[in-house]
Structure 1
């Protein structure tokens, strides 16, 4: 009875945590309720690129700055990811529309970029950098719309909507570089059901952006920081010349839409992006390959063992039966202690430490405790779990070290706690020096590095010693077979069995991989999943992005007389209520337009590369 009463307080505590679980998305993250015209702060996170893999701070480029720059206090995971969350001058009010607002403009004067600033902006654009913003902890996303016709009927078209994180900083066309200087924010809100005498509250459930490039001459600004944008497709994009000063306006607009999406489900849009599907495909593909190779290896081993056992059963002479051959030659030396038992046990302990950390992280993530709404929580949890899992790694390493006839357990514990983490820390420190030289936000600051060292020697090292002490005192593992006292002599190997000769295959492998990479980039278009690019299939009939659209038919594509394999380069498209859709298609190496299309001026969208497969033509 007393034992049951001891569990009563804990049971009540767990029940109290689950009573109001419907009001929270993850433990510790509560929704923010906004009233009409309440400020919704838009913050910048960083600039990222899949080409350079180097993140940068938002204000590393000459964007408009507020009167006072304030950086958000970040946790360990956010710092290690390169996030530098900072406030921006965008002024957004709940459920309040803004047609066009000018940033950092004084007396209707445009912003002037120096030659150095223009060169830096042009460099970031050519490196395919994306800008990441957040509103109410929701990252900004760019909408991609794909209209497909799988049944061959033009009247029955299916719409597929995809989203990607951030928006593209700009785009290039031939030798010209253009900057997205106008942002059209689209924020979705969910109205909470309240009683009649209470004021309505709103919750932000989605944050989208449509980037546009509009040249200086087409923007009409007034003294109240408002502006007027050109209508239709008469506008030209804002070019950035890296060899001279450039003048431009930074503008934005805000549009609000009511949505049926509830606050608890607002992250579903981001978790179902195409990148996630690609990652799942890669994981499944890797698992299938591992199981396939394991099956082949198991079949080979089983056939070998069956053959050896059959040979042993055929022996008539008892003396011949006692003579060992095949895999039984080494049965008395399999469990012989290696030359460096301390290193082996240390590596095993680090592996157990990593395994326990990954297992707990996956389990906690499956419970929803590591939601993406908690920025940096995954990496922070992984770092702390690795430190605390040192007790299990030390226990496993200590017991194995004693099994391998080791005696210096203190030195073995220190090796377990420092060998693998020390190698990783040394490599990261060297790489961090290069990242520092690039002035990237991905560089770990010195105080954070000192904090990691304190965690390493203050948490992980003592726990490893504690686990190693108890593991070394534990009974050693029992070997299934007896180890011979005299080691079996290893016969002299032939010259082509030397380990250095076997390593020579790496050179040819690296050369082959490099050739495949170059061939892939030369013959197949690199698909850039953005608001202006898409990889087509045989069923695609129309693509829209950023408010523009394009439509074509397979007959139009046949008229280009493409050879297989070939490419179709979609350079621009425009759409308005008064003019029909138009675009420019081209093939390498010469330009040509299919029937029904005419060349159009470059719009604000990034040139799109569409792979033309045989099924499409």
Structure 2
């Protein structure tokens, strides 16, 4: 009870952690121009998500208005590009404190061939994304569960398909509301700061026959005909609204946690699960095992004879080398690499260094950590392979460095080709691919090699107790009949469901963020959930391997890795349920992309969970068998 209370108190400041803005505040004077940038068009997650393909704003099929001289690409971070951002200049002219009504942007012509494309994107709930002074365009909404007002930064709808079924209307007028804060100071000129951006789109058939000016107050919607060419106006209005929100707190309205009670319920539920598992492990270690050890070590060999039973029967087999030790060591090394990458990234996010104002900062830090922690994979793989008695260190070094990076890069490359064939702006440019490959070849791979040789210098994880060297020359026969829960497939399913159950609620919000174009910022909950996930996998795997050894099954190496990675199976099953319940893809391409990404996430989860299970089990078994006296 005291421990859970302490963790809850610790979690509160973590969940409400501050953030460090990524840019300095910009002060505007009255009449000064405010730049408006446009980003990619992305499908919005409302009741359901209909697509995973994003489109460039200036895709020629949309026929949006362009600035004079053409749009200019803005510099972006590597992580921002990986997340699909393509930020460009726009023709919108907005000056500080200058309101405007029904301002003409341009006259657009959409041929009938492109009308169907636009109407289909409206039906799929695509949204436009503006960026003004670093803030995303948003709509003010109310959380029905908490009754809080927040800014939804998903963007705003390309059109409206609810007025008349199967007849979508194009939103061609935008009411832009900019919230400003008057900077306090002793300057003779007033200085203003942007603290909020709201955009409300409308569909208006503003083109009037015989008039060269638009009528933005017309109530007739604009429908694009798929039989004839279309001519219409794009217009916008700008209003400045005073706000008491200071610049340093302007992101608070965007950082809204949906239904925080669910997060707390999930966290408390996970704490109960891991507390029960730790109690079970403590009971096994301090009552069952300690009694066995005391009884075995208290025997006077000259007078008493006691037959071994249970886990002590396999003391001469438990350190027998497993099959395919090279592959196992490579997987443990790469899994540990991913674990360190996740922990360090979450720590950075926890203390607010991954500010939402730094677009793509999360992906950038993940990539940097993956690059710099290549030494971890080499070090752990080397020492694990040496512990397992391997001697083909050159092959092990090469596989540790290239095997799983090639598998992951190949999968991402196939998905990227699908995006390219579908003209998606979310496809990774060739320059970015080249940069990532250079990071791998020039930094990550050399660090992995250095870590490998350093691990070889230190040697295996074995201690110097004599028991570990006493392996029977003839393998002991393994009983054919086992309890149903110790059969390998059943063990994987049962052992994987508990870690998954400790994290599945937070997983829902992560998936909604990844596929629904929403920023994720509940890193306090995520960090604590990840720690609980590690503890749950460790305790579950140790318990299952203990029961396995008691049934005289000594082949625990691969079993511990598979049980630890069992949550990946449930992650994939949950992804299928999420697809059925929250997604409604209108194209087979989006289905392929979704299951490709889901398989990639499951593979990474399998490596992480398997490495945790194997490492925890190895040190538990080494501690167990070094505590008994072998007859």
Normalization by structure 2: what TM-score?
0.66
Residue 26 of structure 2 corresponds to: 32
- Quote the offset at 1:267 in angstroms: 1.2
* Alignment of 1:360 onto 2:341: no
Deviates more, 1:293-302 or 1:68-77: 293-302
Mapped to 1, the partners of 2:351 and 2:35 lie a distance apart of 30
Q: Is the 8 A contact 2:37 2:131 kept in 1?
A: yes
The number of aligned residues is 474
Q: Using the alignment, how far apart are the partners of 1:118 and 1:129 within structure 2? A: 15
Alignment check: 8 A CA contact 1:140 1:207 kept: yes
Q: Say which one has the larger Rg.
A: 1
Partner of 1:338: helix, strand, or coil? coil
1:48 aligns with 2:50: no
Corresponding position of 1:212:
202
| Superposed displacement of residue 477, structure 1 | 1.9
Equivalent residue number for residue 98 of structure 1: 100
Asked whether the 8 Å contact 1:220–1:228 carries over to 2, the reply is no
Deviation at 1:368, TM superposition (A): 2.7
Matches within 5 A, 1:144-155: 144-145=141-142
1:277 aligned residue: 258
Matching residue of 2:334: 350
Q: 1:169 aligns with which of 158, 162, 168?
A: 158
> 2:122 maps to which residue?
125
Q: In the alignment, is the contact (CA less than 8 A) between 1:191 and 1:201 conserved in 2?
A: yes
The residue number in structure 2 matching 1:554 is none
SS in structure 2 of the partner of residue 101 of structure 1: strand
Task: Name the CA shift for 1:284/1:179 in 2 (closer, same or farther; >3 Å).
Answer: same
User: Paired residue for 2:169?
Assistant: 178
Q: Which structure has greater helix proportion?
A: 2
Aligned CA distance change for structure 1 residues 313 and 381 (closer, same or farther; 3 Å): closer
Which 5+ residue runs of structure 2 have no aligned equivalent? 1-17, 495-565, 585-631
Q: Distance in 2 between matches of 1:221 and 1:336?
A: 91
Structure-2 residue corresponding to 1:139: 136
Give distance in 1, aligned partners of 2:372 and 2:184. 45
Shift of 1:282: 6.4
Q: Give matches, 1:532-547, under 5 Å.
A: none
SS of 2:101's partner is: strand
Shift of 1:488: 2.2
- Cα deviation 1:283-322 (Å, max 9, x = unaligned): 6565555545545556666777867888999999999973
**Residue pair 1:122, 1:241 contacting (<8 A) in 2 also:** no
TM-score (norm 1): 0.68
Change in Cα spacing, 1:310 to 1:146, as seen in structure 2 (3 Å) is closer
CA distance in 2, matches of 1:510, 1:395: 30
2:394 to 399, 406, 410: 410
Would you say 1:66 and 2:67 are equivalent positions? yes
3-state SS, counterpart of residue 458 of structure 1: helix
* Matched residue, 1:84: 86
Note if contact 1:214-1:238 (Cα within 8 Å) is conserved in structure 2: yes
1:509-548 deviations in Å (ceiling 9; x for gaps): 99999689758899xxxxxxxxxxxxxxxxxxxxxxxxxx
Instruction: For 2:454 and 2:144, locate their aligned partners in 1 and report how far apart those are by CA, in whole Å.
Output: 64
Moved more, 483-492 or 506-515: 506-515
In structure 1, runs of 5+ residues without a counterpart are 1-23, 106-110, 149-157, 523-617
Distance apart, 1:171 and its partner CA: 2.2
TM-superposed CA distance for 1:440, in Å, is: 0.9
Deviation at 1:39?
1.0
What is the aligned partner in structure 2 of residue 445 from structure 1?
A: 429
Runs of 4+ in 1 over 6 A off after TM superposition: 299-305, 307-321, 494-517, 519-522
CA-atom RMSD in angstroms: 3.8
Query: Which structure exhibits the higher relative contact order, with contacts defined as CA atoms closer than 8 Å and separated by 6 or more residues?
Result: 2
The aligned counterpart of 2:507 is none
Query: 1:254-265 residue pairs with structure 2 within 5 A?
Result: 254-265=238-249
